Amino acid sequence: MNYCLKDKSEQEKNIAEKVFSGKRINNSEALYLFEKSGIDFCGFLANHIKEKRYSNNIFYNKNIHLEISNICINKCNFCSFYREKNSQEAWNMDIKDILEYLKSKNIQDLTEIHIVGALHPDKNVDFYKELFRKIKNTYPHIHLKALTAVEIEFLAKKENKESKQIISELNNSGMDSLAGGGAEILDDKIRKILCPDKTNSESWLRIHREAHELKIPSNCTMLYGHTESYADRINHFEKLRKLQDITGGFNCFIPLKYKAFGNNLNINSEIPLVEELKNYAISRIYFDNIPHIKAYWPMCGKETAFLSLCFGIDDLDGTINDTTKIYSMAGSDEQNPDMNSEELKTRCKTMGFDARERDSLYNII
């Protein structure tokens, strides 16, 4: 340790001492890492934390992501996914379509279906309750991770019910956990630029707190690399860490890099790879209370995802089976996102890691 730190600043040595003693870094220290520290130092600390917790294990599951529609009443400026109802690129699946689609994917070997559906003007809570019941009746072994806080709020307003009641009804119909999307940056000034009609910061946090109170776990995300500052990222981190201190309900944090293609935000460049990897590392250092940090490879691409394993990442999501379009429509390198278990295991092994299949709650299979 002394050799690695001998040329570092006193601030970096103090941060390292905290990390090695298992103490929490504060916001000013996180900002220092973003602004002043090199990627090598951040990666060193992040890997220490990951290896102490998980040794050389990397986690993944066998899953598909099901996006049942891209028709959405919100027209978020950063979004490349939504379409108008009459667009030739729009799609909308009814329950029969969804069940036929799942049958075609031969999901008996899978453990998770991840379902989101935008804010479709014609879909209500009864649609989702019937859908979840039918999926569970056909595939009782499947974990249903479904709907974001944004979709929960939309359904609650449509039904004139409290969001916690909507979550409970969906859970009783088969929804096992809540998806983590829609967080973007938890700052309403920035949300007015990114997504002026979307759930505000307080409501996003409240809905996840309500899910956790009902013993329903969730993930959490951050969309970064657009108009936010480093301080904005840290404020976002802080809000998630404070909620996790209270509920312990977040399984995983997923940083999602802004993709510049096909949206109305008018930002023509994306952050460089070095900053992307550094952001992964600082996420691992900051979130002492969220167990897992994920590189979502359909967004960042396989090469970056595997490289991120050297910067504190311990989870690669899953096999996906070419079932998500959100990031391919935004210009991701992965236009047909599919990765089987053997490819994932082999690539991890060549890097000195052991890929371990997990279920949605991180129990090893």
Please tell me the predicted confidence (pLDDT) of residue 116: 85
Maximum average pLDDT range among 191-200, 201-210, 312-321, 342-351: 201-210
Read off the pLDDT band of 334 (50, 70, 90): very low
Indicate the SS3 state at residue 337: coil
Give me the domains of the chain, ranges plus CATH numbers: 24-357 (3.20.20.70)
Locate tokens 């052991």: which residue?
Answer: 354
pLDDT, one tens digit per residue, over 243-260 is 999 999 999 999 999 988
| Partner residues linked to 357 by β-bridges | 60
Helix (H) or strand (E) run with residue 52 in it: helix 39-54
How many angstroms separate the CA atoms of 308 and 68, rounded?
30
pLDDT, one tens digit per residue, over 46-92 is 999 999 999 999 999 998 888 888 888 888 776 776 677 777 777 78
Per-residue pLDDT, averaged over 32-48, amounts to: 96
pTM score:
0.93
Cβ density class 80-100: b for 16+ within 10 Å, e for less: bbbbeeeeeeeebbeeeebbe
| Partner residues linked to 112 by β-bridges | 63, 143
Percentage of the chain exceeding pLDDT 90? 70
Q: How far is residue 351 from each of residues 135, 211, 247, 280, 328, measured CA to CA in Å? A: 38, 37, 35, 18, 26
The answer on pLDDT for 267 being more than 80 is: yes
DSSP character at residue 311: G
Do 252 and 219 contact (CB within 8 A), yes or no? yes
Do 153 and 203 contact (CB within 8 A), yes or no? yes
